[in-house]
Amino acid sequence: MTQIPHPQPRPLVVRPPAAPLTGRVRVPGDKSISHRALMFAGLAEGETTIEGLLQGEDVLRTAAAMRALGARIAPRADGRWVVQGRGLGRLAEPDDVLDMGNSGTAARLLAGILASHGIHSMMTGDASLRGRPMQRVIGPLSGTGAVFAARAGGRLPLSIAGRADPRPLSVRMEVASAQVKSAVLLAGLNAQGETVVEEPVPTRDHSENMLRHFGASLSVEPAGTGRIIRLAGRPRLLARDVVVPSDPSSAAFPLVAALLVPGSSIVIEAVGLNPLRTGLFTTLIEMGADLDIANRRTEGGEPVGDLMVRASTLRGILVPGDRAPSMIDEYPVLAVAAAFAHGETRLCGLAELRVKESDRLAATVALLRANGAVVRVEGDDMVVAGAEAGAAPGGGMVETRMDHRLAMSAVVLGLAAARPVAIDDVGFIETSFPDFTLLMNRLGAGLSA
């Protein structure tokens, strides 16, 4: 398959901007939806056109993997992407190892597809991804009859001997994870019979929405604090065009920067407002953020709106653990906001952060401490002392650990801190947010290498 080079290490020193952040911007397409659009379009019969696809490295890895499995995928001059699907159960065996780069989402979801097709494949990734656990999907997916072989701890490289006649799955998840849920549902597509997933609390439902969009029969019912999803196997998936909204996780960075840089006022256009993805917006408003949502509408089956953001004085709050699934990727930048808030902020239930691109809980604590903030970990909670304890004066070096969200959070901290913040490598930002520096500079950030 085509090899996509990793970004070269690129250090950056960030200082407060000379003037407030101002302007209107649109962040890239939603990464979660972009991955799924390529996968479902590749499994469908016919030609799907995707508008707004995120063209970061993570998503390009998914495109390359689906090409290796026989789908025809190509960008058009107008920015849209066209996918000619193979049809469910008709994927081709890849000629080479599937390199998923830095993307845990791509690797885990693709494992569900590979387990339920009668082909042999092998996945690997970069150093960061090879250190992340895959056992959480290997365990339930083994129920299909597929055979997995991995390194200790279920780590990549991962060999998968898939089943052409996979068994349907019934999985009760102990820990909420949209990736595990989606992998199980993707495996269940090619199984004869009903696949059932019970999740303890609702997680992002882009897979469910897209399954319906492409013609699958799926039901969702409440169960205590969570939900039960039932999927009828062997549907006929038919090509349907997809419009990808702007990524709320990417919007988090200019949003928090505008809240913290005095005098700022910005608009972030067409941001996805799926209620299972908006925990950060809810939390910031509770902290006192001047954040309004205008021009609400529906695009591609997903609610969207324009975020109107003005610099604000934030206050510390308790963020409940049951909110974690709706904002799991936003905790590092929320912790930065908490370091500038008045009063203590307690972020509860962050166990899932330990198995992201890095141990994001430890890395976020290190980011704040290196720049003078007072923060502690109590079990799976992170407690940030806030402005009275020094408000993250800056002046430190941040080790990003090959984690794009840590790098962008460090940039936001540097824009608000009293002293410059050095970042060891911002190259990995391209995996999820191409032209991040360019976009921030359009708002007046003044970032330069």
Total length of the chain: 449
Phi, psi torsion values for 239, nearest 5 degrees: -55, 135
| DSSP secondary structure string for all residues of 223-276 | ETTEEEEEEESS---B---EEPPBPHHHHHHHHHHHHHSTT-EEEEEEEE--TT
**329 counts as catalytic:** yes
Catalytic residue among 329, 359, 380, 424: 329
Report the b/e string of 100-130 with b at 16+ CB within 10 A: bbbbbbbbbbbbbbbbbbebebbbebbebbb
Radius of gyration of the chain (CA): 21
In the structure encoding, which two tokens stand for residue 7, read together? 């970004």
For residue 5, which phi and psi values (nearest 5 degrees)? -65, 145
Q: What b/e string do you get for 206-218 counting C-beta neighbours within 10 Å, with b at 16 or more?
A: bbbbbbebbebeb
With residues binned 3-state (H G I as helix, E B as strand, rest as coil), the percentages for the chain, rounded to 5, are: 35, 25, 40
Please list the residues that pair with 306 across neighbouring strands: 294
Q: What does 123-141 look like in DSSP terms, one character per residue? A: EE--HHHHTS--HHHHHHH
Q: What's the start-to-end Cα distance of the chain, in Å? A: 33
Q: What string of DSSP letters covers 385-404?
A: --GGGT---B--EE--TT-H
Q: Which residues are catalytic?
A: 329
